[in-house]
Amino acid sequence: MIYDGFEKISSIKWSVYGKIKEVNNSDPLKKSLKFDYDAMGNRIAKHVYAGSAWMSSTYYVRDAQGNVMGTYEHKDICTNCPSSTPIFAMSYKLLERDVYGSSRCAIDQHTLELLASYSNQVYERIVGSKTFEMSNHLGNVISVVSDRKIPIEDASNVGNIKHYIPQILTATDYYAFGEAMEGRVFNSDKYRYSFNGQEKDDEVKGGGNSYDYGARIYDPRLGKWLSVDPFATNYVSFSPYCFVGNSPIIAVDPDGKRIVVVVGDKEYRIGAFNFFKPKEVRQAYAALKYLNSGEVKAQVNRIGELKADKKNIVRIHVGEFNNSSSTGSHHDQKTGKTYHDLNWNPDAETFLTTYDENNTKLTRGVSYSPAMGLYHELAHKYHKIFGKKSYDGRTYDERKKMPIDPNDKYEGPEEEVTIKEVNKVAKALGEPQAENHSGEEVEIGKGVKHFTGQKEADKINEEIEKDFKENLKKTVKKK
C-alpha cells in the first residue's frame, strides 16, 4: 500500500526492509508521521508533523531482546499559556517506564523533565501514576488499572472502610480480529497498548485502527497487514497479508513475522513451511490443550517449562510426515535464540506392544493418540534443552553417545528415558502405555505389518484376530 484515499493518506513511504518510513496526510486536520529503526528493525523513534512543521518526537529505549524499557517525549511546550504572547520552550521528558514479569505487565507513568534545572530535589510517591494491564490469553489489554485503591465506606458503620476497589483507567472489548466494539470502550485513547499488547498509532487512521507489530503494520478493521509477510514462502497456503492464518482466537503474531498458537497461558510457535494450514493450526492447538489438561498439567507435563525458557524456541512442523520425529536444532546469532524443530503428523498412530512375565512379546492392536506422539518428541526436546533433568541424571548428548544393545527393546537409553516419561502422561490421561520403541513396525496377526504414520491403521485394526482383542480387554482391565 502506497496511499489510502479513504483515510486521506496521500502517500506511504517504505524502507527496503518493508518498514514504513513516512505516512503523509493530505487532510490538514490529521498528522503526518516519520519513523526511525535500529539495526534489528525495532522502532526507536516516531516523529509527528503538522504539514511540514515538526510537532513532537517519541523515542523508545529497548533492551538487547528489543523489549521497550522506557519512552521519552521531545516537543515544544508553552510556558505561559493561555497568553496573547505565548512563550515556547523545549521539553525532553521521561514519559513511561515499562514493568516486566515474564512479559510486560505494567507501565510506570511517573514523568521526569530532563531539561529543567532544580535547586532542591524533592522525592515523593504519587499514587495513581503506575498502571497495570489486565490482559487475556492473547495479550489483548482488556482493562488498565492504577496502583491507587478506592475506599468504599461501610454503610452500616459510618466512618469505617468496608473494602477497596481498583481505579479502572481504560477498558476495551474487541472483535476477533482486533477492532474495538462500539459502545464497549472506555478511555481507550489514554493507554499506548491494546490489541495483542501492541502499540497503537492513532495518528494514522484514528483510535485503535493501526497497530505497530514491529515487522509490519496491522489494520484490525480489515484483519489484514499493510505489507507482505517477510516469511511468506513459509506459508504458501496463506495470503501474504493474512493475519495469524485467519485464526485470531487461538493464535497471535508477536512481531509480524510468525504465528504463535496460545493454549491457556502457554505459547507454542507453529512453523510448518508449506504444510501450514488453518486446519493443522487447530490440530496442534487441540493436541497441546489435551496434553495440558488437569492432572497432567499439575503433575507430569513439562511442556510449560519449554515455553518458559526464552532462549530456546520449539517449533512444531505439522504435516503428513511418515512419523513424528525431532529434526535438529540451530542457533540464530542475530536473535541469540536456539530453535529446535520437530515434525508431527496429526493423523499418525503408534501401535503398541507389551510383554508378559516371561518377557514374551504380545502384539496389541491398540494405539495411543497422535498427541502422545507429539509429546514423545517434545520430551526429547526437553531433555536436550534442560540437560540432566531426567530419570538417569545423564544429559541428552551423553545418552545419545552410549552404545545400543541390539536386544534392547527400548533401542537406546534416550528412548528408554523418553518412553518412561511419556508413559506417565499416558497413564494420567487414561491411554495405553508403551513398553518398547518398536512402533515403526509391529506384527499384527496373519503376517500383516503396520508402519507408524500410514493411514491403513483402521483397516489393519479390523483384521486383528479375536484373541488379540481379548488380550487387549484384559490389558485394559488390569489398568
pLDDT tens digits along 366-420: 566 777 888 888 888 888 887 765 556 777 778 777 877 777 777 778 888 888 8
Please state whether beta strands 180-186 and 337-344 pair in parallel, antiparallel, or not at all (unpaired).
unpaired
Give me the pLDDT at residue 453, please.
Answer: 31
Give the number of other Cβ atoms within 10 Å of residue 84's Cβ.
Answer: 5
The residue-averaged pLDDT of 291-318 equals 68
The predicted model scores a pTM of 0.53
Question: Which range, of 6-15, 62-71, 149-158, 352-361, averages the lowest pLDDT?
Answer: 352-361
Q: What is the pLDDT of residues 160-182, one digit of tens each?
A: 888 999 999 999 999 999 999 99
Res 466 pLDDT > 80: no
Rounded Cα gap, residues 309 and 152, in angstroms: 42
Is the separation of the CB atoms in 162 and 152 below 8 Å?
Answer: yes
Give me the pLDDT at residue 416, please.
Answer: 82
Rounded Cα gap, residues 261 and 196, in angstroms: 13
Sign of CA dihedral 465, 466, 467, 468: positive
Give me the pLDDT at residue 464, please.
Answer: 39
> Helix 413-428 crosses helix 370-386 at what angle (to 10 degrees)?
130
> What percent of the chain is modeled with pLDDT above 90?
24
Is the separation of the CB atoms in 313 and 330 below 8 Å?
Answer: no
In three-state secondary structure terms, 256 is coil
Give the number of other Cβ atoms within 10 Å of residue 368's Cβ.
Answer: 23
Give the number of other Cβ atoms within 10 Å of residue 274's Cβ.
Answer: 11
Res 76 pLDDT > 70: yes
